[in-house]
Structure 1
Amino acid sequence: MTYALASALQQSVFQHLTADAGVTEALGSDLFDAMPTGSLPQIYAVLGSEEVLDRSDVSGPGARHRFTISVFTSSAGFIVAKEAAAAICDALVDAPLTLSRGRLVGIWFERASAQRLKDGGRSITLLFAARVEDD
Protein backbone atom coordinates (compact mmCIF):
# COMPACT_ATOMS: atom_id res chain seq x y z
CA MET A 1 0.00 0.00 0.00
CA THR A 2 1.02 3.56 -0.47
CA TYR A 3 -0.22 6.78 1.06
CA ALA A 4 2.43 8.63 -0.91
CA LEU A 5 -0.06 10.00 -3.45
CA ALA A 6 -2.46 11.58 -0.93
CA SER A 7 -0.94 15.04 -1.11
CA ALA A 8 -0.68 14.97 -4.91
CA LEU A 9 -4.34 13.91 -5.21
CA GLN A 10 -5.56 16.59 -2.79
CA GLN A 11 -3.59 19.32 -4.56
CA SER A 12 -4.91 18.24 -7.94
CA VAL A 13 -8.53 18.10 -6.74
CA PHE A 14 -8.22 21.54 -5.13
CA GLN A 15 -6.59 23.11 -8.20
CA HIS A 16 -9.13 21.51 -10.54
CA LEU A 17 -12.09 22.76 -8.52
CA THR A 18 -10.77 26.30 -8.10
CA ALA A 19 -10.19 26.53 -11.87
CA ASP A 20 -13.66 25.21 -12.79
CA ALA A 21 -16.09 27.89 -14.03
CA GLY A 22 -19.18 26.17 -12.56
CA VAL A 23 -17.61 25.80 -9.12
CA THR A 24 -16.37 29.39 -9.20
CA GLU A 25 -19.86 30.59 -10.18
CA ALA A 26 -21.39 28.69 -7.25
CA LEU A 27 -18.75 29.40 -4.58
CA GLY A 28 -16.62 32.28 -5.80
CA SER A 29 -13.20 31.75 -4.28
CA ASP A 30 -14.64 30.17 -1.12
CA LEU A 31 -13.25 26.65 -1.44
CA PHE A 32 -10.92 25.71 1.41
CA ASP A 33 -8.73 22.81 2.45
CA ALA A 34 -9.37 23.65 6.13
CA MET A 35 -12.36 25.17 7.90
CA PRO A 36 -12.18 28.95 7.54
CA THR A 37 -11.94 31.06 10.68
CA GLY A 38 -13.53 34.36 11.51
CA SER A 39 -16.53 35.61 9.58
CA LEU A 40 -17.80 32.83 7.34
CA PRO A 41 -18.95 33.35 3.74
CA GLN A 42 -22.65 32.82 3.00
CA ILE A 43 -21.69 29.69 1.06
CA TYR A 44 -18.39 27.80 1.00
CA ALA A 45 -16.95 24.32 0.58
CA VAL A 46 -14.25 22.48 2.49
CA LEU A 47 -12.13 19.48 1.54
CA GLY A 48 -12.70 17.00 4.33
CA SER A 49 -11.80 13.64 5.71
CA GLU A 50 -10.13 10.87 3.76
CA GLU A 51 -9.88 7.11 4.02
CA VAL A 52 -7.31 5.21 1.98
CA LEU A 53 -7.41 1.51 1.11
CA ASP A 54 -4.60 -0.52 -0.40
CA ARG A 55 -5.15 -1.41 -4.04
CA SER A 56 -1.62 -2.50 -4.93
CA ASP A 57 -1.23 -5.38 -7.34
CA VAL A 58 1.50 -7.08 -9.35
CA SER A 59 1.86 -3.98 -11.53
CA GLY A 60 2.82 -1.81 -8.55
CA PRO A 61 1.59 0.23 -5.59
CA GLY A 62 -1.84 1.78 -5.68
CA ALA A 63 -4.62 2.98 -3.44
CA ARG A 64 -8.29 3.88 -3.36
CA HIS A 65 -8.89 7.23 -1.71
CA ARG A 66 -12.38 7.97 -0.39
CA PHE A 67 -12.67 11.65 0.50
CA THR A 68 -15.33 14.17 1.36
CA ILE A 69 -16.07 17.68 0.22
CA SER A 70 -18.66 19.55 2.28
CA VAL A 71 -20.73 22.53 1.19
CA PHE A 72 -22.03 24.87 3.91
CA THR A 73 -24.51 27.71 3.55
CA SER A 74 -26.26 30.05 5.94
CA SER A 75 -29.33 29.95 3.67
CA ALA A 76 -32.50 28.49 5.15
CA GLY A 77 -33.13 26.34 2.08
CA PHE A 78 -31.13 23.64 0.36
CA ILE A 79 -31.22 24.94 -3.22
CA VAL A 80 -28.03 27.05 -3.07
CA ALA A 81 -26.08 24.22 -1.40
CA LYS A 82 -27.43 21.69 -3.90
CA GLU A 83 -26.41 23.85 -6.83
CA ALA A 84 -22.87 24.18 -5.43
CA ALA A 85 -22.70 20.44 -4.72
CA ALA A 86 -23.85 19.71 -8.29
CA ALA A 87 -21.13 22.00 -9.67
CA ILE A 88 -18.51 20.15 -7.63
CA CYS A 89 -19.79 16.78 -8.88
CA ASP A 90 -19.88 17.99 -12.49
CA ALA A 91 -16.28 19.19 -12.17
CA LEU A 92 -14.85 16.08 -10.48
CA VAL A 93 -16.62 13.01 -11.84
CA ASP A 94 -14.38 11.49 -14.52
CA ALA A 95 -12.08 14.54 -14.37
CA PRO A 96 -8.72 14.03 -16.11
CA LEU A 97 -6.67 15.12 -13.09
CA THR A 98 -2.92 15.31 -13.43
CA LEU A 99 -0.99 14.43 -10.27
CA SER A 100 2.47 15.71 -9.37
CA ARG A 101 3.31 12.09 -8.50
CA GLY A 102 1.69 8.93 -9.81
CA ARG A 103 -1.43 8.83 -11.92
CA LEU A 104 -5.16 8.92 -11.48
CA VAL A 105 -6.94 5.81 -12.76
CA GLY A 106 -10.40 7.28 -12.14
CA ILE A 107 -12.55 9.39 -9.86
CA TRP A 108 -16.19 8.67 -8.98
CA PHE A 109 -19.06 10.05 -6.92
CA GLU A 110 -20.24 7.60 -4.23
CA ARG A 111 -22.91 9.37 -2.18
CA ALA A 112 -24.11 12.59 -0.55
CA SER A 113 -25.73 13.54 2.72
CA ALA A 114 -27.75 16.75 3.22
CA GLN A 115 -28.40 18.18 6.69
CA ARG A 116 -30.13 21.06 8.42
CA LEU A 117 -27.71 22.79 10.78
CA LYS A 118 -28.55 23.98 14.31
CA ASP A 119 -27.84 27.59 13.31
CA GLY A 120 -30.51 27.43 10.56
CA GLY A 121 -28.08 26.84 7.69
CA ARG A 122 -27.62 23.78 5.53
CA SER A 123 -24.78 21.44 4.62
CA ILE A 124 -24.19 18.77 2.02
CA THR A 125 -21.33 16.32 2.32
CA LEU A 126 -20.22 14.61 -0.88
CA LEU A 127 -18.19 11.38 -0.85
CA PHE A 128 -15.89 10.68 -3.78
CA ALA A 129 -13.57 7.77 -4.55
CA ALA A 130 -10.38 8.01 -6.53
CA ARG A 131 -8.11 5.17 -7.65
CA VAL A 132 -4.44 6.11 -7.96
CA GLU A 133 -1.29 4.24 -8.93
CA ASP A 134 2.31 5.16 -8.21
CA ASP A 135 4.79 5.19 -11.08
Structure 2
Amino acid sequence: MSYAVSGALQAAVFAALSQDAALSALVGTGIYDAVPAGSVPDIYVRLGSETVREASDGSGAGAVHFLTVSVITTSPGFATAKAAATAVSDALQDVELELSRGRLISLRFERATARRIDAASARQIDLRFRARVQDD
Protein backbone atom coordinates (compact mmCIF):
# COMPACT_ATOMS: atom_id res chain seq x y z
CA MET A 1 0.00 0.00 0.00
CA SER A 2 1.01 3.55 -0.52
CA TYR A 3 -0.47 6.53 1.29
CA ALA A 4 2.02 8.74 -0.52
CA VAL A 5 -0.51 9.99 -3.10
CA SER A 6 -2.95 11.30 -0.48
CA GLY A 7 -1.68 14.88 -0.38
CA ALA A 8 -1.52 15.12 -4.17
CA LEU A 9 -5.07 13.75 -4.46
CA GLN A 10 -6.42 16.21 -1.91
CA ALA A 11 -4.73 19.15 -3.65
CA ALA A 12 -6.14 18.08 -7.02
CA VAL A 13 -9.67 17.66 -5.64
CA PHE A 14 -9.47 21.09 -3.99
CA ALA A 15 -8.27 22.65 -7.24
CA ALA A 16 -11.02 20.97 -9.28
CA LEU A 17 -13.70 22.25 -6.91
CA SER A 18 -12.18 25.74 -6.70
CA GLN A 19 -12.01 26.05 -10.49
CA ASP A 20 -15.52 24.77 -11.21
CA ALA A 21 -17.70 27.62 -12.53
CA ALA A 22 -21.04 26.07 -11.53
CA LEU A 23 -19.91 25.47 -7.95
CA SER A 24 -18.32 28.92 -7.70
CA ALA A 25 -21.61 30.48 -8.81
CA LEU A 26 -23.27 28.87 -5.78
CA VAL A 27 -20.61 29.15 -3.05
CA GLY A 28 -18.18 31.77 -4.37
CA THR A 29 -14.78 31.22 -2.80
CA GLY A 30 -16.30 29.28 0.11
CA ILE A 31 -14.36 26.08 -0.55
CA TYR A 32 -12.11 25.05 2.33
CA ASP A 33 -9.68 22.38 3.33
CA ALA A 34 -9.94 23.74 6.86
CA VAL A 35 -12.74 26.12 7.79
CA PRO A 36 -11.23 29.47 8.77
CA ALA A 37 -11.71 30.96 12.20
CA GLY A 38 -14.41 33.57 12.53
CA SER A 39 -17.45 33.97 10.37
CA VAL A 40 -18.04 31.76 7.36
CA PRO A 41 -20.39 32.23 4.40
CA ASP A 42 -24.02 31.09 4.61
CA ILE A 43 -23.04 28.19 2.34
CA TYR A 44 -19.65 26.60 1.90
CA VAL A 45 -17.87 23.40 0.90
CA ARG A 46 -15.38 21.61 3.16
CA LEU A 47 -13.04 18.77 2.34
CA GLY A 48 -13.60 16.18 5.03
CA SER A 49 -12.50 12.80 6.22
CA GLU A 50 -10.61 10.23 4.21
CA THR A 51 -10.26 6.47 4.61
CA VAL A 52 -7.61 4.66 2.59
CA ARG A 53 -7.31 0.97 1.75
CA GLU A 54 -4.60 -1.11 0.14
CA ALA A 55 -5.01 -1.60 -3.59
CA SER A 56 -1.56 -2.51 -4.90
CA ASP A 57 -1.34 -4.94 -7.76
CA GLY A 58 1.22 -6.31 -10.19
CA SER A 59 1.64 -2.89 -11.77
CA GLY A 60 2.72 -1.18 -8.55
CA ALA A 61 1.72 0.44 -5.28
CA GLY A 62 -1.82 1.73 -5.13
CA ALA A 63 -4.67 2.63 -2.84
CA VAL A 64 -8.38 3.31 -2.78
CA HIS A 65 -9.28 6.59 -1.07
CA PHE A 66 -12.78 7.19 0.26
CA LEU A 67 -13.11 10.99 0.37
CA THR A 68 -15.83 13.05 1.97
CA VAL A 69 -16.75 16.49 0.67
CA SER A 70 -19.36 18.36 2.73
CA VAL A 71 -21.73 21.14 1.79
CA ILE A 72 -22.84 23.16 4.82
CA THR A 73 -25.46 25.91 4.82
CA THR A 74 -27.55 27.94 7.21
CA SER A 75 -30.19 28.45 4.53
CA PRO A 76 -33.58 26.98 5.45
CA GLY A 77 -34.49 23.70 3.79
CA PHE A 78 -32.22 21.52 1.73
CA ALA A 79 -32.70 23.07 -1.74
CA THR A 80 -29.65 25.34 -1.59
CA ALA A 81 -27.44 22.60 -0.13
CA LYS A 82 -28.62 20.10 -2.73
CA ALA A 83 -27.86 22.50 -5.58
CA ALA A 84 -24.30 22.94 -4.29
CA ALA A 85 -23.94 19.19 -3.66
CA THR A 86 -25.01 18.54 -7.25
CA ALA A 87 -22.31 20.95 -8.45
CA VAL A 88 -19.69 19.18 -6.28
CA SER A 89 -20.76 15.81 -7.67
CA ASP A 90 -20.70 17.06 -11.25
CA ALA A 91 -17.25 18.64 -10.75
CA LEU A 92 -15.73 15.38 -9.47
CA GLN A 93 -17.62 12.67 -11.35
CA ASP A 94 -15.25 10.78 -13.66
CA VAL A 95 -12.89 13.78 -13.79
CA GLU A 96 -9.29 13.35 -14.93
CA LEU A 97 -7.22 15.04 -12.25
CA GLU A 98 -3.53 15.77 -12.68
CA LEU A 99 -1.71 14.75 -9.50
CA SER A 100 1.69 16.08 -8.44
CA ARG A 101 2.56 12.51 -7.43
CA GLY A 102 1.13 9.27 -8.77
CA ARG A 103 -1.90 9.09 -10.98
CA LEU A 104 -5.63 8.88 -10.64
CA ILE A 105 -7.14 5.70 -12.05
CA SER A 106 -10.77 6.61 -11.30
CA LEU A 107 -12.89 8.94 -9.20
CA ARG A 108 -16.55 8.14 -8.69
CA PHE A 109 -19.43 9.22 -6.48
CA GLU A 110 -20.34 6.56 -3.94
CA ARG A 111 -23.06 7.96 -1.65
CA ALA A 112 -24.44 11.03 0.12
CA THR A 113 -26.04 11.76 3.46
CA ALA A 114 -28.16 14.88 4.08
CA ARG A 115 -28.92 15.94 7.64
CA ARG A 116 -29.79 18.83 9.91
CA ILE A 117 -27.02 20.07 12.20
CA ASP A 118 -26.59 22.71 14.91
CA ALA A 119 -29.94 22.03 16.57
CA ALA A 120 -31.56 21.90 13.12
CA SER A 121 -30.61 25.50 12.26
CA ALA A 122 -28.19 24.38 9.53
CA ARG A 123 -27.98 21.68 6.87
CA GLN A 124 -25.09 19.45 5.86
CA ILE A 125 -24.72 17.09 2.94
CA ASP A 126 -21.76 14.72 3.03
CA LEU A 127 -20.79 13.33 -0.37
CA ARG A 128 -18.50 10.33 -0.41
CA PHE A 129 -16.29 9.60 -3.40
CA ARG A 130 -14.12 6.60 -4.19
CA ALA A 131 -10.76 7.39 -5.78
CA ARG A 132 -8.40 4.69 -7.04
CA VAL A 133 -4.80 5.90 -7.30
CA GLN A 134 -1.48 4.41 -8.23
CA ASP A 135 1.91 5.61 -7.05
CA ASP A 136 4.08 5.43 -10.17
Q: TM-score, normalised by structure 2?
A: 0.97
Secondary structure at the counterpart of residue 39 of structure 1:
coil
Secondary structure at the counterpart of residue 97 of structure 1:
coil
1:134 aligned onto 2:96: no
Post-superposition Cα deviations, 1:19-77, rounded to whole Å, max 9, x if no partner, equal: 01011111100000012321121000100000000000111000000010111000111
Aligned-pair RMSD on alpha carbons? Answer: 0.8
Q: Distance in 1 between matches of 2:12 and 2:27?
A: 18
List aligned pairs for 1:58-97, cutoff 5 A: 58-97=58-97
Q: Distance in 1 between matches of 2:71 and 2:16?
A: 17
Deviation at 1:119, TM superposition (A): 4.9
1:18 aligned onto 2:21: no
Q: Distance in 1 between matches of 2:56 and 2:66?
A: 16
Unmatched segments (≥5 aa) in structure 2:
none
Q: Distance in 2 between matches of 1:44 and 1:2?
A: 31
Distance verdict in 2 for CA 1:62–1:128, change over 3 Å: same
Q: Distance in 1 between matches of 2:134 and 2:29?
A: 30
Q: Distance in 2 between matches of 1:66 and 1:119?
A: 27
Corresponding residue number in structure 1 for 2:122: 121
Q: How many residues align?
A: 135
Corresponding residue number in structure 2 for 1:46: 46
Secondary structure at the counterpart of residue 23 of structure 1:
helix
Superposition misfits of 4+ residues, deviation over 3 angstroms: none
List aligned pairs for 1:106-117, cutoff 5 A: 106-117=106-117
Letter in 2 for 1:115: R
Secondary structure at the counterpart of residue 72 of structure 2:
strand
